[in-house]
Chain A
Amino acid sequence: MPYLGSEDVVKEVKKALCNPHIQADRLRYRNVIQRVIRYMTQGLDVSGVFMEMVKASATVDIVQKKLVYLYMCTYAPLKPDLALLAINTLCKDCSDPNPMVRGLALRSMCSLRMPGVQEYIQQPILNGLRDKASYVRRVAVLGCAKMHNLHGDSEVDGALVNELYSLLRDQDPIVVVNCLRSLEEILKQEGGVVINKPIAHHLLNRMSKLDQWGQAEVLNFLLRYQPRSEEELFDILNLLDSFLKSSSPGVVMGATKLFLILAKKFPHVQTDVLVRVKGPLLAACSSESRELCFVALCHVRQILHSLPGHFSSHYKKFFCSYSEPHYIKLQKVEVLCELVNDENVQQVLEELRGYCTDVSADFAQAAIFAIGGIARTYTDQCVQILTELLGLRQEHITTVVVQTFRDLVWLCPQCTEAVCQALPGCEENIQDSEGKQALIWLLGVHGERIPNAPYVLEDFVENVKSETFPAVKMELLTALLRLFLSRPAECQDVLGRLLYYCIEEEKDMAVRDRGLFYYRLLLVGIDEVKRILCSPKSDPTLGLLEDPAERPVNCWASDFNTLVPVYGKAHWATISKCQGAERCGPELPKTSSFAASGPLIPEENKERVQELPDSGALTLVPNRQLTADYFEKTWLSLKVAHQQVLPWRGEFHPDTLQMALQVVNIQTIAMSRAGSQPWKAYLSAQDDTGCLFLTELLLEPENSEMQISVKQNEARTETLNSFISVLETVIGTIEEIKS
């Protein structure tokens, strides 16, 4: 295998290359060279024969030349001095009468990645740009970019750039596209190639002559162009219309993106475009090319975020077929989950139910979670299906169903009754930690409605010694204590045993501490326990906030046809975050460390934010739940205690703000959708003395400022001031991160 015994191999090859008999026989000579390339492919270091390979480049055999050049391009950085020897041959080839040889030599010369090569390649490139064969011009144009890349930060050669701009009018379509690519790389520091009106129109006229790669590339460059008038804009859209129906999905997607971006001020045009690409997208989704199908499905999901009804009538297209690869099935289930409506819900659920018993446990679980997602809107039907699934008594199904129930009960309290009836008996079929935790939580919180809840928990307590997951033990402690409050008679004895075990025998510190904590809490008195443990059992408002509200097309248009929909926004953010950090080094930690999901507040900022409440002699109480009605009543009855305006620029991510506010214990009661104008949010918070702070945020984009009005139910200026400073810091932090 590679990496081993490379010395012997190099020696042997070297001998063969030097053998005059072999050199005389062209075929044998070429075979040896092929062997060198093969070793190179396998990762063997054959740079030792560089000298011999350079000699082999002086040949009339084009194939041999190509192979040798490939070799030289790979190893030139390691042997710059020897590579210089090859330059001579290459230079000579650059003036060969055969355009193919000229092109090949120029391309190879530009690809020699070694210092000092620039001075040799400059002249050949300039000649190449004016070559009469377009094949050579194509190579020369990209050669300019390679040359620029070689000495990264050097100054941009104005004359060369001008020459490239003029080559945009070249006859050959590939030269034109290569020019754009080359200029883009050379002018990267200055924001890339400039697309002004004449260039844009020239490119638009040439579009039909380009091949699919060229078309996709030009469509991408045209994103940069801002039409002067509405008339021009629609002219461009008309010109490009046919590309929405191109045979290449890549071009279709590129054209769609361009349409969406150009028509960003005309929502009806955007909707219209999305309607028109429905056909091509659906075709791609059912195409045999699985990878393309996957990409198309990712984009369908993206579109569904803004237009939930868009594909509803085609829901059958997203039914999974048995032999499709895993990744397509998972995407399809997600899509199905998102396009559900009153008309198709029955059929979609029927289909999803079929998947729940799939052989692949992964897929089955994804289907169950999908039903859980749909259950937020169509609760009754879904709960019924999920209950039936419990009847199958399959471990991997039961655990996921119970987890789904837990999440569902929190968001849709109306289904609590049904869930409680379904639960008895499933404890036999749950083995994994996640499932156990979910079941125990449900038994603890809603135990008063489940007759055998204490006995199920008792079983868990019996077996606690053999329980491997500390998280399950913690959950068990909390659940049993909660149940004790509602059914003391049945639980007292078991709770005693569990507490004894946790305090005396348990080795995991967190569990032990939790046990001790509850023990001391019980000593304080039952009222105190109730006050601390009996938090609300559901929060329907969370569902509304969490629901993927219809986002305007403009908030994802710029991500369309990139990797963002493929990886998912969150994953992409982490990737690009690292990339950003890598590129800019330590100077810009703030921009790079902020991601749409993941840790919502950068570490260093989090500390700052959390310190603040202490410093202001103000402690906000966590999890203070306020109903919307109560908030409204209080809000109307109070006067504004403080009003302030903060500067606010650019885009805005409400979920980020909400999460950040939660960190400092400020609850969001209601909030408008992202992108709506004006944007409003209502917040509430309470400090340890019971003083309520009610806040309204009002964002008017045209003034680029955020107006804050705070009301307080007890007039106390010092706490008010510290509350406002907390709020200011949070908003300031978000603003900072964002920019």
Chain B
Amino acid sequence: MIGGLFIYNHKGEVLISRVYRDDIGRNAVDAFRVNVIHARQQVRSPVTNIARTSFFHVKRSNIWLAAVTKQNVNAAMVFEFLYKMCDVMAAYFGKISEENIKSNFVLIYELLDEILDFGYPQNSETGALKTFITQQGIKSQHQTKEEQSQITSQVTGQIGWRREGIKYRRNELFLDVLESVNLLMSPQGQVLSAHVSGRVVMKSYLSGMPECKFGMNDKIVIEKQGKGTADETSKSGKQSIAIDDCTFHQCVRLSKFDSERSISFIPPDGEFELMRYRTTKDIILPFRVIPLVREVGRTKLEVKVVIKSNFKPSLLAQKIEVRIPTPLNTSGVQVICMKGKAKYKASENAIVWKIKRMAGMKESQISAEIELLPTNDKKKWARPPISMNFEVPFAPSGLKVRYLKVFEPKLNYSDHDVIKWVRYIGRSGIYETRC
């Protein structure tokens, strides 16, 4: 149960404050500002207890969202609620920024009114909420009969996440496989930990109540099918992937997944996250970073970093950025790189090397000479890891969408008429190589 919800900007000014329960007073708003936002030391925990009141906070860019309660609640649920709140707001007005919050101030109060009542979460699906929120506020009495009946059918309907009577002229769906690949590598090139956390996001513009079936190259499914045709196993055996764990949107019938491992569902209208998964085995690491740091005397460092792209030569990686940390007492840096642009950024204590595009199976190198100021500080430089950012047009986990079939028995369109788009994007999560 949530007693109140506050939104602050980075200075601690209150942008939104909504109190749901009597036990949360106005002073709670100030208590959080003073104790957390204005606190000198870094944030100790996302859950703070001030005067027997628990504050759960989440930060999005420089906006603080805080949920407040006096009860012994389950923390995971409160954070999930805050994330959901952010998602809903983002679905309405895009990025969560001070400006957006200020200009959508009425809308946010409307949302807060609908998704929480007396501190209890109510309906929070963006699609379903759309019926209640009068963003432009021109409805009211002019509301048509049809819309009214929609509310009634929606609120009594069995399926909370989709309203009935949706119609599109063009039935279209978009599937995005978004993965972030995380790596921690030792200087010797040994993988200390690597995992991919991925999401399958679906944007559906389908009429009626379509029944969808989604298939991917999950090892367990392929093996099951492979029993019948040995031929197929040999063909696809290599390409199947082992998923460590996965979770689905509420709309997926879990019982069917457990028994047949098939993913079938009636999708919500618009964008939603179909599944979330994690793999740790056989990850394709798109880049390999080979660092070489040599200390030449007390006032000079020589750094050489080689990056190798490790994927099909026909694919192009984009937005590549390598961040090579430099010691605090750096006085000057000379950089030579074969490709892209590199700059020493004194304010960030790092050499930032940017490459716009890079094809697979290529190699590039940067070397830098770092001049150091002599210090009497005996502190040894801690050598933070070299981190990397990039975007590649494939899924580092190896996941492939095999099919997505759509059935709508009541309306006259078939699977073939639906236009389907699939896209794979692999991004770097925390991709670090120690040096």
Q: How far is the CA of A171 from the CA of B153 in the complex (A)?
A: 12
Q: Are B385 and A322 in contact (CB under 8 A)?
A: yes
Contacts of B109 in A (CB 8 A): 37, 66-67, 70
Partner of B141, one of A60, A178, A249: A60
Chain B contacts for A357, CB-based, 8 A = 380, 382
Q: Which of B56, B125, B140 contacts A211 (CB 8 A)?
A: B125
Interface segment, A132-140, A593-601, A622-630, A702-710? Answer: A132-140
Q: Is B58 an interface residue (CB 8 A)?
A: yes
Interface of chain A residues 562 through 592 with chain B (CB within 8 A):
562-564, 566-567, 571, 575-576, 578-579, 582
Interfacial chain A residues near B244, Cβ < 8 Å: 279, 282-283
B382 near A358 (CB under 8 angstroms)?
Answer: yes
Nearest chain-B residue to A110 (Cβ)? B118
CB atoms of A321 and B52 under 8 A apart: no
Would you give the 0/1 interface string for B239-282, flagging 1 where the beta carbon is closer than 8 Å to chain A? 00000110111100011001000000000000000011010000
Q: Is B79 an interface residue (CB 8 A)?
A: yes
Contacts of A292 on B, CB cut-off 8 Å? Answer: 76, 79-80, 83
Interface membership of chain B positions 49-83, coded 1 if the CB is closer than 8 angstroms to chain A and 0 otherwise: 10010101110000000000010111111011111
User: Is there an interface contact between B125 and A142, defined as CB atoms closer than 8 Å?
Assistant: no
- Contact present for B83 and A288 (CB under 8 Å): no
Q: Does B90 contact A (CB under 8 A)?
A: no
B155 touches A289 (CB 8 A): no
A703 to chain B, nearest CB (A): 34
Bound form: Cα–Cα A125–B387 in Å: 59
Which stretch in B15-23, B218-226, B297-305, B399-407 binds the other chain?
A: B15-23
Interface check B421, CB cutoff 8 A: no
Pick from B37-45, B207-215, B411-419 the stretch touching chain A: B37-45
Contact A63 B193 (CB under 8 A): no
The reply on B227 being an interface residue by CB < 8 A is no
**Segment of A38-46, A49-57, A400-408 engaged in the interface with chain B:** A38-46
Checking A107, A213, A245, A290 against B77 with a beta-carbon cut-off of 8 angstroms, the contacting residue is A213
Q: Is A296 an interface residue (CB 8 A)?
A: yes
Given A181-B120, A317-B193, A359-B384 contact (CB < 8 Å): yes
Q: Which of A161-169, A323-331, A525-533 contacts B (4 or more CB under 8 A)?
A: A323-331
Which listed segment binds A: B131-139, B165-173, B314-322, B368-376? B131-139
Q: Which chain A residues (61-91) contact chain B, with CB distance < 8 Å?
A: 61-64, 66-67, 70, 74
Q: Are A316 and B193 in contact (CB under 8 A)?
A: yes
Residue of B nearest to A347 (CB): B192
Query: B121 within 8 Å of A by Cβ?
Result: yes
Given contacts A174-B123, A295-B75, A327-B44, contact A213 B105 (CB under 8 A): no
Interface on chain A toward B: helix, strand, loop, or mixed SS?
Answer: helix
Q: Is B361 interfacial (CB 8 A cutoff)? A: no
- Nearest Cβ distance between residue A247 and chain B, in whole angstroms? 3
- A300 → B minimal CB distance (Å): 12
Interface of B is mostly: mixed
Asked whether A321 and B22 contact (CB < 8 A) given A172-B156, A211-B123, A566-B75, the answer is: no
Contact of A63 among B110, B184, B379, B429 (CB under 8 A): B110
List B contacts of A37 (CB < 8 A): 105-106, 109
Closest residue of chain B to A294 (Cβ to Cβ) is B46
Cβ contact within 8 Å between A579 and B52? yes
A212 to B54, CA, bound (A): 22
Q: When A and B form their complex, what is the total count of cross-chain residue pairs whose Cβ atoms lie within 8 Å?
A: 241
| A242 contacts the other chain (CB 8 A) | yes
Q: Check if B24 is an interface residue, CB within 8 A of chain A.
A: no
Within the complex, which residue of B49, B195, B247, B250 is in contact with A286, where a contact is CB–CB below 8 Å? B195
CA distance A323 to B382 in the complex (A): 14
Nearest Cβ on chain A to B69's Cβ, whole angstroms: 9
Residue pair A562, B254 in contact (C-beta under 8 Å): no
Q: Is B148's CB within 8 Å of the partner chain A?
A: yes
Say whether A34 contacts B140, CB under 8 Å: no
The CA-CA distance from A288 to B22 in the complex, in Å, is: 34
**Once bound together, how far apart are the Cα atoms of A576 and B13, in whole Å?**
30
Contacting B at CB under 8 A, from A298-354, are 298, 316-317, 319, 321-327, 351, 354
Residues of A within 8 A of B309 (CB): none
Contact (Cβ within 8 A) A171 B156: yes
User: Given the complex of chains A and B, what is the CA–CA distance between A467 and B83 in angstroms?
Assistant: 52
Decide if B182 is an interface residue (CB 8 Å cutoff): yes
Given A149-B22, A319-B192, A323-B430, answer yes or no on A286-B378 (Cβ-Cβ < 8 Å).
Answer: no
B19, B83, B141 interface centre (most CB from chain A within 10 Å):
B141
Residues of A within 8 A of B (CB): 30, 34, 37-38, 41-43, 60-64, 66-67, 70, 74, 97-101, 104, 107, 111, 113, 132-135, 138-139, 142, 145-146, 149, 171-174, 177-178, 181, 208-209, 211-213, 216-217, 220, 242, 245-250, 253-254, 279-280, 282-284, 286-292, 294-296, 298, 316-317, 319, 321-327, 351, 354, 357-359, 392-394, 561-564, 566-567, 571, 575-576, 578-579, 582
Please name 30 pairs of A and B residues whose Cβ atoms are closer than 8 Å in the assembled complex, sorted by A: A37-B106, A62-B134, A62-B137, A62-B140, A63-B134, A63-B137, A66-B113, A98-B148, A107-B117, A171-B156, A181-B1, A181-B120, A213-B121, A213-B124, A220-B74, A245-B247, A247-B248, A253-B76, A283-B247, A288-B429, A292-B79, A292-B83, A298-B75, A319-B192, A323-B387, A327-B45, A358-B382, A561-B74, A576-B72, A579-B52
Which 3 A-B residue pairs are closest in the complex by CB-CB distance?
A63-B137, A247-B247, A250-B77
Further contacts, 5 of them, CB under 8 A, given A292-B79, A563-B72: A66-B109, A249-B80, A253-B76, A562-B74, A579-B52
